[in-house]
Chains A and B, each alone.
Chain A
Amino acid sequence: MDFRDTPDEAAFRDEVRTWLTEHFVGEFRELAGRGDPSDEDNYDLRIAWERVLGADRWVGMSWPVEYGGRALDFSQQVIFNEEYARADAPPRASFFGEGLFSPTLLAYGREDQKRRFLPKIQSVEEMWCQGYSEPNAGSDLSNVSTRAELDGDEWVVNGQKVWTTMAHRAQWCFAVVRTDPESVGHKGLSYLLIPMDQPGIEVRPLKQMTGTAEFNEVFFDDARTAKENVVGDVGEGWKVAMATLGFERGTAFLSQQLAFQNEVAALIDVARENGASTNATIRQELADSYIGVQVMKFNGMRMLTDLVKKGVIGPSSSIGKLYWSNWHRTLGERAMHVLGADATLIAGDPGKDYALDEFHRIFMVSRSETIYAGASEIQRNIIGERVLGLPREPR
């Protein structure tokens, strides 16, 4: 047990810190401390920043060198993310491609698919969205009814996806679709890659409680994609899709607590400034949020050590997802306590736009976090059944 950097780790940390100091400068500084991956503000500037990262292979840093990556191990990835958060650099719009799709592709994709898609993810030329949820397939994801049928060399896709984050920005969608029309449940599904820019696809923004529309509905009406754009075998899409969910719940969020630490520190500053920090109850709440994010960090370090030893992230990633989403939701509520009467006002001009400051964003966006990537109730089922071995609910 030792929480200090090894000499190699320390050298790598220096390299990252130096790179960030040299590159996260100028107009990019406007992005410091900005929201979450789906934050719509300054979108073009964010993409420009991510292309700077990609040019130096900090996008796809975990990929094997043959695919343009740096083959960084888990510890190095965490160090990069720690330094990235310390520099207050913004969450990445390319998260869905880099964070969710690329590890899935590396695990299950064919060589030609890796050669085709990974470089454009790294160069931030192609953005991705995740086509999983449907109106009747939310927590019960295996109930997807979007169909794909082969027509010569192409799949023809019909159906509807929903809650598709960044679909309006994406060039590609990785989707779970039913390729065996006779099938039900987990069987007969395939993991299909569909180009977004075509007449058969309509993206309609879904305005959220935040007033912005990062979510979308995506309608497929005879949309087409090439026959070879299946990851894994046809009919094996459930297995592939579950791997993505594991990445979404696991490694992708390992370093998220660093951004959360910054949020707690900012909230404590506000409480000091407006005098809320003299209130005994608020002090308890702030201390508890501080404790929560530190424990999240310790949990992350234990999970990382486990990951380095075993090479895979098990169902225990559900613990992390359940933990951070609830913690963040509580932080949002406490931020409103700290703001007091000011919590009733937002940024923006009256009668014009519904613009939120950072704490109101946390207060509201966090309501989605206990729902997406598997609602908290689903995570508790996974923990109960797959970690603790409790019997499944009869179905």
Chain B
Amino acid sequence: MNFAFSEEQDQLRDAVRKFLEAKSPETEVRRLMETTEGYDPAVWSQMANELGLQSLHIPEAYGGQGFSWVELGIVLEEQGRALLCAPYFSTVVLAANAILNAGTEDQKAALLPGIASGETIATLAFTEPNGKWDASGITLEATPSGDGATLSGTKMFVLDGHIANLVVVAARAAGTSGTDGISFYTVDGDAAGLTRTALATMDQTRKQAKLEFNGVQGQLLGTAGAGWDALSKTLDQASVGLCNEMVGGSQYVLDESVQYAKDRVQFGRPIGSFQAIKHKCADMLLETESAKSAAYYAAWAAAEDNDELPVVASLAKAYCSDAYFHSAAENIQIHGGIGFTWEHDAHLYFKRAKSSEILFGDATYHRELLAQRIGI
């Protein structure tokens, strides 16, 4: 048993942190979050060309480097710490894994090298205006046509959907329900009949779009009607990835709170000497460290692709969601008035914590899912 990162993995973390400190400082986060596109194409290219981040966990056979989910988790953790504004989660975590899970050899060989090289920005469109994170929420209809299907319906909350060149869409065959009849299709971002609308997001650092499909021709990805297993797995993996991203943010707000508690003097002493503040920080540490344990373990389960993954994914998503939001909220309280200002970065993490908590289902959703998965 060994629950520690290797020296190489620590080096990867250092390299990514240095890169993001240089390329994604708070000023850049603030600049990009106010744009519609929400990312800097030059930094996106450097991420691919200098660090190889987009290709990290994609198998070598498809133009990637073949690292595991543990390495991907490290990169996501650093991105969460830096609040990187980029379509990385949508492209590398959601779309690439949906393709890996569902696609045929030929499809993987055709689609993944573009993602690995950073040329393709991709996303997964599965949620709809009903806001459900499970199979029942998928109502967008696929009518067989040629090698694929004609797609009609609306996808909502699609991460980076307005800028993606490649959209992986989860759709349903007419007359099916539940987990039956679900298939994946791929659609180009500029496909005929597809209307994309950027949405105003509460968390401005993570962009979303509404995608309206009016008879859009989609290419079938994988096997028709057998998409649910691949989608369920993709969502578990995405939850694990998000947990790793969240613990990066949670550690950042803890560090900020502790530093402020040491520096800020009231009643003639640093506020961190008061137990009311000290104990908040202690609880934040406990929850952040525990969230890391869960997120790292989950990344390992994803890397091993073992039977534990569904349970561990829900477990981690429930724990990390609560832990990050609690830390981000306490960070505002510890900072007092300054923590409530637009100028301070506490609200950026607070909003990211909330959007991450909700994405792929909140803690309540995942506790219920876990209860089902462990047979309660």
Contacts and interface: CB of A to CB of B under 8 A. Distances in A.
Interface residues of A, number: 50
26 contacts: A1-B3, A1-B6, A3-B1, A272-B376, A283-B367, A286-B371, A287-B368, A291-B367, A291-B370, A298-B294, A301-B3, A302-B3, A302-B4, A380-B278, A380-B282, A384-B279, A387-B282, A387-B285, A389-B262, A390-B270, A390-B278, A391-B262, A391-B272, A391-B273, A393-B273, A393-B275
A166 interface: no
B180 interface: no
Interface in A260-305: 268, 271-272, 277, 280, 283-284, 286-288, 290-291, 294-295, 298-299, 301-302, 304-305
Contact of A5 (B1, B285, B371): B1
Given A1-B6, A323-B290, A290 B275 contact: no
B232 interface: no
A19 B274 CA distance: 52
A381 interface: yes
Nearest to B374: A290
Contacts of B292: 302
A359 B349 CA distance: 40
Contacts of B9: 1
Interface string B1-17: 11111100100000000
Contacts of A272: 376
B158 to A, nearest CB: 29
A271 B375 CA distance: 12
B278 A385 contact: yes
Interface in A200-250: none
The 9 closest A-B pairs by CB, nearest first: A384-B278, A298-B293, A287-B367, A390-B272, A383-B282, A380-B282, A391-B273, A380-B279, A301-B3
Interface in B279-296: 279, 281-283, 285-286, 289-290, 292-294, 296
A279 to B, nearest CB: 11
A2 B286 contact: no
A388 interface: yes
Interface residues of B, number: 44
Contacts of B315: 290-291, 294-295
B370 A287 contact: yes
Contacts of A389: 258, 262
Given A1-B5, A304-B1, A394 B273 contact: yes
A117 B211 CA distance: 75
Contacts of B294: 294-295, 298
Nearest to B270: A391
Given A302-B289, A390-B278, A391-B272, 20 more contacts: A1-B9, A2-B300, A286-B376, A287-B370, A287-B374, A288-B367, A291-B315, A291-B319, A294-B294, A298-B293, A302-B4, A302-B293, A304-B1, A305-B3, A383-B282, A385-B278, A389-B258, A390-B273, A391-B273, A394-B273
